[in-house]
Amino acid sequence: MTQTPAHQQTSAHQHPALTATDPELAALVTAEERLQADTLRLIPSENYVSTAVLEASGTVLQNKYSEGYPGRRYYEGQQNIDQVERLAVARAKALFGTDHANVQPYSGSPANLAVYLAFAEPGDTVMGMALPMGGHLTHGWGVSATGKWFRGVQYAVRQDTGLVDFDAVRELALKERPKLIFCGGTALPRTIDFAAFAEIARESGAVLVADIAHIAGLVAGGAHPSPVPYADVISTTTHKTLRGPRGAMLLAREEHAKAIDKAVFPGLQGGPHNQTTAAIAVALHEAAQPSFRSYAHAVVANAKALAEALLARGFDLVSGGTDNHLVLMDLTSKDVPGKVAAKALDRAGIVVNYNTVPYDPRKPFDPSGVRIGTPSLTSRGLGTEHMAAVADWIDRGVRAAGTGDEDALLKIRGEVAELMTAFPAPGLPTA
């Protein structure tokens, strides 16, 4: 029996109860499934979770309240929930090799806020990479609560190399004596030197927080060095390269376990999202398999091949390339603003996000760069042999953006959809 291709399936096929109750919403879900099936998704913080992760996150665990921690809850009826959370915690500790794991943070931003609550007082100085350099809002940037309630000081990358300037980081840390130093970010194409940050944190008396939201899957799969020997606390989302549900974890040595748990609950949150905890447990189980190591290394190999192919087509890349899953393109020399390129590529079926580049002369809402990454396409099974085609589409798309050639964009969209048909996405209705 042959199955109906994804693009021909109706919502009734996949979501019978939802379609019966709320056809309007069901149609939107089906449309999103089709979009995720037909497009080349290059946003580096996105991925495709497995069907197993999707199933776990859509269970009756949703119905249960369980404030507290396993064995120490404020509600009864935790016979199964306690085991779910214990399983997730044990798998997180085993996968990353840490003493302690808290799997309750609702997402990456609340996880980071819990770190502030655990280690700092309002008004304290905290240090992180500046947002326009590739840092995250929650590393003390002004518009974030972390920059309003704490005194954020920011470090940068060098303009000539695009790499972290560790002399400047040390100088700033010794001058400002921050309580927390964050390393990691959202637009960093290079390996994070955790040892160098740890030395500076030690010299300046700061708690080192490694925010590996983007690269957690690479760390778990052995495709990026681990921060575990160096960082006091590790914060990560579970939904980026780690390929789990939308959620987060805080990992730490035993000495910080109490402070972190207290900060997450009752400090910041109420009941944990048990369906998410379950899906995190499943994702961690998947991440412990040999196939996940292959995936993590393939993500990096694909990103390197894509970077090479883009360089060969005359694109400027921040830092000249990549060590990880992410490539930051500076379109200044192409004379196409990042947002114009991103919107045109979207019409061409290639989903990216516009992004600032270090020392960007343009505004954050209209910057010079486009940020791309390879986790999603790797999860679909594309390999290095496909990266020349991907670079070609991006090249043609950016050129069509410059000339306003909508026909060229539509043509690319068709070519993209055709290739993607051959690579069914995990978690989506299959052809």
Ligand X SMILES: *Cc1c(COP(=O)(O)O)cnc(C)c1O
Minimum separation from the CB atom of position 287 to ligand X (A): 18
Q: Is 186 in the site for ligand X (CB under 6 A)?
A: yes
> First-to-last CA distance in the chain?
12
Tell me whether residue 161 is one of the annotated catalytic residues.
no
* Tokens linked to 176: 């400002």
Number of residues assigned to the chain: 431
Q: Which residues 6+ apart lie within 8 Å of 395 measured at CB?
A: 310, 313, 315
Tell me whether residue 65 is one of the annotated catalytic residues.
yes
Q: How far apart are CA 62 and CA 160, in angstroms?
A: 50
Report the residue closest to ligand X, judged by CB: 108
Tell me whether residue 359 is one of the annotated catalytic residues.
no
Q: Is 237 in the site for ligand X (CB under 6 A)?
A: yes
**Comparison of 235 and 274: residue with beta carbon closer to ligand X:** 235
Minimum separation from the CB atom of position 214 to ligand X (A): 5
Minimum separation from the CB atom of position 424 to ligand X (A): 27
Identified catalytic residue from 30, 146, 237, 238 = 237
The span of 57-65, 207-215, 315-323, 329-337 binding ligand X (CB under 6 A) equals 207-215
Q: Is 103 in the site for ligand X (CB under 6 A)?
A: no
Location of structure tokens 């840490």: 98
Q: Environment class of residue 388 by beta-carbon count within 10 Å: exposed (0-12), middle (13-18) or buried (19+)?
A: middle
Tell me whether residue 246 is one of the annotated catalytic residues.
yes
Q: Is 15 in the site for ligand X (CB under 6 A)?
A: no
**Comparison of 15 and 136: residue with beta carbon closer to ligand X:** 136
Near ligand X in 282-341, by CB under 6 A: none
Location of structure tokens 């996405």: 425
Q: Is 211 in the site for ligand X (CB under 6 A)?
A: yes
Task: Return the residue of 15, 136, 243, 386 that touches ligand X, per CB under 6 A.
Answer: 136
Task: Return the residue of 210, 213, 310, 351 that touches ligand X, per CB under 6 A.
Answer: 213
Minimum separation from the CB atom of position 117 to ligand X (A): 16
Tell me whether residue 237 is one of the annotated catalytic residues.
yes
Q: Is 154 in the site for ligand X (CB under 6 A)?
A: no
Name which of 140, 104, 69 is nearest 248 in CA terms: 104
User: Do residues 84 and 62 lie in contact, with contact meaning Cβ atoms separated by under 8 Å?
Assistant: no
Identified catalytic residue from 170, 246, 253, 313 = 246
Identified catalytic residue from 67, 165, 176, 346 = 67
Identified catalytic residue from 65, 308, 395, 415 = 65
x/- map, 392-421, ligand X, by CB under 6 A: ------------------------------
Kindly list the catalytic residues. Answer: 65, 67, 211, 237, 240, 246
